C-alpha cells in the first residue's frame, strides 16, 4: 500500500494524517477497498467514497468527524485507536479554525465574571472540534421529546453572545462538548454559582484580611485599588462609604456634581462587566461601586488640594495655581 504523499499545512493536521495512514497501512487496504468496507459497515454514514477517504488521509482540509469514524472502523481499529483518532481530529479541527488561541480562557477555578465564563464555554466548544449545532444538541440530551439545549441558545453560547438561562442548560451544553464526570461538572457548577450570584463559595474564597485591615482602609489615600480590592467586603464597605460621603460634602457644588456623574458611569461599568459585555478589571463587583466612588473622589480631592506649581523662569502667578477649594469666610460681626 502506497503511503499518502500530501503534506498538511499544520502540525496537528499532519499528526492526524499520519495516524490515519498508519491505520490503513496496517490493515493493508487501498482506498477503494476501504470505501467498500465502510459501505458494508453502514456506519456512521451509508457510504464514504474512495476519493473522500483519500482526502481525509491527506488532511489538506480537516475531514468531517463522521468520515474519520468511518475510516478507522473500516480499518478494523480498536476502541482505543478510534478514541485516539477522534482526539487528533479535534485538535486538528481547532488548529484549522484558529479561534481557540484567541479566547485565552482562565482556568475553571479562576472564573469570576460572565466574560470569563463565556470565553471558557466557547473554548470547550472549540476543544470539542466545533461540532455542528444539531450534533451538539443531540449529544446534550433530551427530556422526553424535547431537547434540553435549544439551537438558538447553543448558537449564542458558541459566539459569546449570550449565556445559558440556567444550570441545566449549561450542563447540557458541556455534555454536548464531551465534558463528563462528576468532578468536571462540579467545578463548572461552582464557577456558574460564582458568576450568577457574585459570591465565592468558602472553598474558593481568598485568604482572610491582613492584620490591621481597618486601620489601612482609614488611610485609603495611600492604598492602590488592587490593595483595596484584596480586602474582605466587611472590612472595606463601611469605612470607604463613610469616607466618600465626607469627601463629597467637602467638594464645591460643581465638582460634586461631576463626581456623582462619574460615580454613576462607574456603576454602569460594573453592570457591564457582570453581564460579560465589558472586560474584567480584576476588582470584586461587589466592591466596585464604592471603590469607584472612592477612587474618583480621592483623585478630585488630590487635584483640589495639590501644591502650587511654578515654572523655573518666573514666579508663581494665579494661572499657575491648581484649582483649590476655599472655605467661605466667616460672617463679619455686626
For residue range 325-334, what is the model confidence (pLDDT) as tens digits?
554 454 455 4
Q: What is the pLDDT of residue 226?
A: 56
Question: At 45, is the secondary structure helix, strand, or coil?
Answer: coil
Cell numbers describing residue 300: 478630585
Nearest-CA neighbor of 137 among 151, 127, 125?
151
Q: What is the mean pLDDT of residues 71-97?
A: 93
Angle at 325 between CA 320 and CA 329, to 5 degrees: 115
User: Mean pLDDT highest for which of 43-57, 180-194, 238-252?
Assistant: 180-194
Question: Could you report how far apart the first and last alpha carbons of the chain are, in Å?
Answer: 115
Cell numbers describing residue 169: 442548560
212 — pLDDT class (breaks 50, 70, 90): very low
For residue range 13-50, what is the model confidence (pLDDT) as tens digits?
999 999 999 999 998 999 999 988 888 876 555 578 89
Instruction: Supply the DSSP symbol for 317.
Output: -
Instruction: Give percent of the chain with pLDDT exceeding 70.
Output: 57
Q: What is the mean pLDDT of residues 46-62?
A: 86
Q: Domain extents for the chain?
A: 11-97, 102-197, 213-304
pLDDT(232) > 60:
no
pLDDT(196) > 80:
yes
Q: What is the pLDDT of residue 279?
A: 53
As a residue count, the chain comes to: 334
For residue range 133-167, what is the model confidence (pLDDT) as tens digits?
999 999 999 888 889 999 999 999 999 888 898 99
- CA gap 119, 138 in Å, rounded: 23
Nearest-CA neighbor of 163 among 176, 173, 178?
173
- CA gap 302, 47 in Å, rounded: 76
Cα→Cα distances 42→67, 84, 248, Å: 12, 22, 76
Q: What is the mean pLDDT of residues 58-82?
A: 90
89 — pLDDT class (breaks 50, 70, 90): very high
Cα→Cα distances 246→243, 293, 297, Å: 5, 12, 10
- CA gap 225, 295 in Å, rounded: 8
C-beta of residue 96 within 8 angstroms of C-beta of residue 10? yes
C-beta of residue 304 within 8 angstroms of C-beta of residue 323? yes
Q: What is the pLDDT of residue 60?
A: 85
For residue range 250-284, what is the model confidence (pLDDT) as tens digits?
777 777 677 766 766 666 665 665 555 555 554 44
For residue range 286-315, what is the model confidence (pLDDT) as tens digits?
444 445 545 555 555 555 555 544 445 555
285 — pLDDT class (breaks 50, 70, 90): very low
pLDDT(213) > 60:
no
How, if at all, do strands 142-143 and 146-147 pair? Answer: antiparallel
Model-wide pTM > 0.75? no
Angle at 149 between CA 194 and CA 62, to 5 degrees: 100
Other CB atoms within 10 Å distance of the CB of residue 177:
23
More confident of the two residues 228 and 217? 228
Amino acid at each position: 500500500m502506497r503511503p499518502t504523499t500530501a503534506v498538511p499545512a499544520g502540525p496537528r493536521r499532519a499528526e492526524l494524517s499520519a495516524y490515519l495512514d498508519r491505520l490503513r497501512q496496517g490493515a493493508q487496504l487501498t482506498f477503494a477497498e476501504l470505501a467498500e468496507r465502510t459501505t458494508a459497515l453502514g456506519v456512521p454514514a451509508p457510504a464514504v467514497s474512495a476519493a473522500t477517504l483519500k482526502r481525509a488521509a491527506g488532511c489538506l482540509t480537516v475531514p468531517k468527524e463522521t468520515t474519520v469514524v468511518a475510516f478507522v472502523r473500516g480499518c478494523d481499529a480498536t476502541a482505543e485507536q478510534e478514541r485516539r483518532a477522534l482526539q487528533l481530529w479535534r485538535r486538528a479541527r481547532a488548529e484549522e479554525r484558529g479561534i481557540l488561541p484567541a479566547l485565552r480562557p482562565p482556568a475553571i477555578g479562576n472564573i469570576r465574571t460572565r466574560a470569563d465564563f463565556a470565553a471558557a464555554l466557547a473554548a470547550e466548544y472549540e476543544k470539542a472540534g466545533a461540532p455542528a449545532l444539531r450534533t451538539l444538541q443531540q449529544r446534550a440530551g433530551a427530556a422526553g421529546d424535547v431537547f434540553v439545549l435549544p439551537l438558538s441558545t447553543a448558537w449564542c453560547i458558541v459566539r459569546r453572545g449570550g449565556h445559558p438561562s440556567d444550570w441545566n442548560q449549561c450542563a447540557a451544553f458541556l455534555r454536548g462538548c464531551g465534558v463528563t464526570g462528576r468532578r468536571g461538572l462540579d467545578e463548572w457548577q461552582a464557577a456558574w454559582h460564582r458568576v450568577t450570584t457574585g459570591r465565592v463559595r468558602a472553598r474558593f474564597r481568598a485568604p482572610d484580611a491582613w492584620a490591621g485591615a481597618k486601620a489601612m482602609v482609614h488611610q485609603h489615600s495611600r492604598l492602590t485599588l488592587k490593595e483595596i480590592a484584596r480586602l474582605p467586603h466587611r472590612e472595606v464597605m463601611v469605612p470607604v462609604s463613610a469616607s466618600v460621603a465626607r469627601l463629597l460634602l467637602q467638594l464645591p457644588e460643581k465638582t460634586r456634581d461631576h463626581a456623582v456623574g462619574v460615580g454613576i458611569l462607574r456603576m454602569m461599568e460594573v453592570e457591564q462587566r457582570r453581564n460579560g459585555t465589558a472586560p474584567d478589571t480584576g476588582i470584586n463587583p461587589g466592591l466596585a461601586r464604592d471603590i469607584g466612588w472612592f477612587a474618583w473622589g480621592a483623585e478630585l480631592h488630590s487635584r483640589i488640594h495639590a501644591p502650587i506649581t511654578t515654572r523655573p523662569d518666573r514666579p508663581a502667578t494665579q494661572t499657575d495655581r491648581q484649582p483649590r477649594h476655599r472655605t467661605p469666610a466667616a460672617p463679619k460681626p455686626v
